[in-house]
């Protein structure tokens, strides 16, 4: 067994990460206590493990640690908001019924952050396409509440709604 270490910028703090090169980043983050990143399919197909890796929505259940560059910037759900300081996307998820079983919510919220960071005024169709492209799957909501939540969060983030 080979143990390696490197520094990563995780949610704004530089942290030393100890790993085996064949570990995937999802499991490493979870072992560090960042259990908001969920593992559903463990095969890159459901989006539950989505994080922002250097600004890009990335499914990390299939990202081996040996493919991660030192000092990469990682944003997990824990870096987006906290229970006492929710991000507008998280508030919209609650307000529009985006959370049912909740398992997919962190991946969807991180994916939405990635979308709104690059397109602050998406159409409903662009939101749906984004989720398809990033393979965010929800088995509870039928997606409409999620799209409603994204549209509302985008409005808040543009300063058009409080």
Q: Pick out residues in 28-57 that bind ligand FES (CB under 6 A).
A: 39-42, 44-49
**Residue 25 near ligand FES by CB under 6 A:** no
**Residue 64 near ligand FES by CB under 6 A:** no
Work out how close the CB of 84 gets to ligand FES at its nearest, in angstroms, rounded to a whole number: 28
Work out how close the CB of 57 gets to ligand FES at its nearest, in angstroms, rounded to a whole number: 11
| Rounded-to-integer distance, Cα 67 and Cα 129, Å | 27
The CB-side HSE value for 98 (13 A sphere, CA atoms) comes to 25
Work out how close the CB of 45 gets to ligand FES at its nearest, in angstroms, rounded to a whole number: 5
Q: What share of the chain is helix, strand, coil (3-state, %, to 5)?
A: 40, 20, 45
What DSSP line would sit under 70-124, residue for residue?
TT-EEE-GGGT-BTTB--HHHHHHHHTT--SS-TTHHHHHHHHHHHHHH-SS--H
Of the candidates 59, 63, 113, 134, which one interacts with ligand FES according to CB under 6 A? Answer: 59
Of 88 and 134, CB closest to ligand FES: 134
Q: Where does this chain bind ligand FES (CB under 6 A)?
A: 39-42, 44-49, 59, 61
């Amino acid at each position: 067994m080979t143990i390696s270490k490197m520094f990563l910028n995780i949610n704004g703090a530089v942290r030393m990460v100890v790993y085996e090169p064949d570990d995937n980043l999802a499991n490493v983050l979870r072992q560090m206590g960042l259990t908001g990143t969920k593992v559903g399919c463990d095969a890159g197909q459901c989006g539950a493990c989505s994080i922002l890796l250097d600004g890009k929505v990335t499914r990390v259940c299939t990202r081996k640690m040996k493919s991660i560059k030192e000092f990469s910037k990682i944003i997990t759900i824990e870096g987006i908001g906290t229970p006492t300081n929710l991000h507008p996307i998280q508030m919209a998820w609650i307000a529009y019924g985006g959370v049912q079983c909740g398992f997919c919510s962190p991946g969807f919220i991180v994916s939405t952050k990635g979308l709104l960071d690059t397109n602050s005024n998406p159409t409903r169709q662009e939101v749906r396409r984004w989720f398809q492209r990033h393979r965010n799957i929800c088995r509870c909501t039928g997606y409409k509440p999620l799209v409603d939540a994204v549209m509302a969060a985008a409005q808040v983030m543009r300063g058009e709604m409080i």
